[in-house]
Structure 1
Amino acid sequence: MRRLVVLALALASLTLAGCTAAPTDASPSVSPSGDISTITIGGSDTLAPSLEFTPGLTYAQEQSKVVWDGDGEYLQDGQPLLLDIYGASLDDGTTLINTYDGLPRSFLLAPEVVGEELYKTLLDVRVGARVLVVAPPSFGSDTEEPPIAMVIDVLPDHAVGTDVAPNPDLPTVTRARSGEPSVEIPQGDPPTDLQVATLIQGSGAQVKDGSYLTVQYTAWYWAKGKDKDGAWKKGDVMESSWPVDTAPFELQIGSGQVIRGLDEGLLDQTAGSQVMLVVPPSYGYADKGTLVFVVDILDVWNPEGSS
């Protein structure tokens, strides 16, 4: 599992924390002042939005505004964030970051991570919100970054959809307020074939061969056992992406990156869904016995050409 860092590398030059405004120049050559209210968000030929603005204006301070609020849960200080971000230079419109045509980025909602201005704005919105942010130029020892505008969509960090009636023969799943699942594994021998049960039916993009996914997941042992790494009890967690200092997991279906049970079991599911998979050793790990996975599919990106 990769650890959540303060800022994703691609955002290093875009962080709103510590941006320094351009020096004041009272000469007649100073560019006219710009304001966030003059920037318009439009559509494009891809999944990303577009930005319409007058290039070359001077932006003296950080600004943000809520384009629309969401209808999910209110954001809380310190919680994990999953964000789609489109950012462009306000000098010439050059795209600096675009996660819409790809996978979203994960952060923590803290001022030292996302910057004071964005932090204050996000504390007043709910999941599903769209925010527009403007940052003035930033100056380093030998670099000058242009003023930027970013469209930021707040995505759910757990499954969101319609509950599906559970299969009584499979483990029982309960969910904490945060969405994190736990399981109760039934008595008896596990099934010998891969079992797939949709617990929450999402309404997003469908998973295909070649799809890129962002997921939250936990895997539990069906029965006690041991291998070269140690012993475990029935119901122990083998691994999980849910701890707050761990980012959601990213994978590509059909690439051989993950075990056969996940590659096959997540096909045809949809973004927003929660799926339980009972994975026998032949579909997973021969030395770990049967595993129970609960997977929240947060985002699905189907690149051109995926089947």
Structure 2
Amino acid sequence: MRKTAAALITLGLAALALAGCSAGPSFAGQACPTQPKSSGLTDSVTVKGDFGAEPTVTIASPTKVQKASVDDLIVGTGAPITAKNQPIVVDIALYDARTGQKIGATGFDKTTAASDVNSLASQAKPLGDALQCATAGSRLLVGFPAGTAAEDAAVAVLDVRTVFLPHAEGSLEYNDALGLPTVVRAPDGRPGIIIPDAKKPTKQVVQTLIHGDGPKVKKTDGVRVQFTSVDWDTRKVVNSTWDSQSAVISGAAGIEGQTVGSQVLLIIPPADASTGTGSDGNGTQAIVVDILGIDNSSTTGQ
């Protein structure tokens, strides 16, 4: 059974009232935050075990944590987390700092579902803060107050297993496609789709807008994406992942042969509708898909 890190936090800290940086150039367009280092947390918390496997954690009881802190136990060399809605896979082991008892843990078995900083921070802000600018392959030790009593606190070990792209990244493609929608982009990569005053296509159209330099998508691949779909006739957004979390679709959904990092415009008439990319089958859809990475996890739930 796959479990998100956010679900673990929700369950593990349900009985506590939460009070409320690793290497990397920037986060959400700002300089990386300077995280306060723990005052002696690594002296009272011992973490053993390989990255990616559930650690063995020993906490000298009681361990006091008066303010949020983060220590880099392992600094990964992978991609950095640069955006709040960037899909990431993080395994978390959570402990009661006062008793040393484990509250809960995600799978640590490559089944943990993708989440993002927004989701984790909504459950426990110090964990979201700790992940800002962290790199894939990193192991973090985080401590933070959590509870109604002054001595209540939590200790967490975070393994940043996977960091997907925050949005399409690559070279712009020139398209002389008269009568097709125009796509504009916000600074965070979010697309806007402008439908032209033109006859809508009667057959599916696939147009590469940005060509990424990652691996090619196979038909059988699960693909981590952000997408926005707009109804051709009403000009209204039908569906978008940008305000929630990323999604996984099949490589067969019009993006087979595209490369990771690419942005693709799909025009899908009702006869070719695919619910995997937000088309409801009731009208012609213009869909912009940002290909963030290959995600062949056994389950695609968030």
TM-score normalised according to structure 1 size: 0.61
Change (3 A) 1:10 1:199: farther
2:126 to 113, 117, 136: 117
For structure 2, the 5+ residue unaligned runs are: 20-40, 96-100, 149-153, 274-278
| 2:107 corresponding residue in structure 1 | 97
Structure 2 counterpart of 1:151, one-letter code: D
Structure 2 counterpart of 1:189, one-letter code: K
Contact kept in structure 1, 2:181 and 2:196, CA below 8 Å: yes
| 1:298 corresponding residue in structure 2 | 292
Corresponding residue SS for 1:117: helix
Give structure 1 regions of 4+ aligned residues with deviation exceeding 6 angstroms.
69-73, 89-92, 126-129, 136-140
Instruction: Answer with 185-194 or 128-137: which moved more.
Output: 128-137
| 2:92 corresponding residue in structure 1 | 87
Contact kept in structure 2, 1:64 and 1:132, CA below 8 Å: yes
Shift of 1:139: 9.2
Which residues in structure 2 correspond to 1:40-55 (within 5 Å)?
42=50, 49-50=52-53, 55=58
Q: What whole-Å deviation, never above 9, does each CA across 1:115-143 have from its counterpart, x for those lacking one?
A: 243344345x3786945134589899xxx
CA distance in 2 between counterparts of 1:10 and 1:286 reads 33
Question: RMSD over aligned Cα, in angstroms?
Answer: 4.5
CA distance in 1 between counterparts of 2:292 and 2:43 reads 34
The answer on 1:249 being equivalent to 2:255 is no
Q: What whole-Å deviation, never above 9, does each CA across 1:113-170 have from its counterpart, x for those lacking one?
A: 25243344345x3786945134589899xxxxx9642213683563242123132214
Corresponding residue SS for 1:150: strand
Q: What whole-Å deviation, never above 9, does each CA across 1:48-73 have from its counterpart, x for those lacking one?
A: x2466565655544642243598768
2:170 to 153, 162, 170: 162
Which residues in structure 2 correspond to 1:2-151 (within 5 Å)?
8-14=6-12, 18=17, 35=43, 39=47, 42=50, 49-50=52-53, 55=58, 58=61, 60-61=64-65, 63-66=69-72, 67=75, 75=83, 79-88=84-93, 96-98=106-108, 100-101=110-111, 103-108=113-118, 113-122=122-131, 125=133, 130=138, 132-135=140-143, 148-151=156-159
| 1:265 corresponding residue in structure 2 | 254
Corresponding residue SS for 1:118: helix
Shift of 1:214: 3.2
| 2:230 corresponding residue in structure 1 | 220
Shift of 1:217: 1.1
Shift of 1:196: 1.5
Contact kept in structure 1, 2:167 and 2:189, CA below 8 Å: yes
Change (3 A) 1:41 1:159: farther
CA distance in 1 between counterparts of 2:200 and 2:182 reads 14
Contact kept in structure 2, 1:217 and 1:241, CA below 8 Å: yes
Corresponding residue SS for 2:253: helix
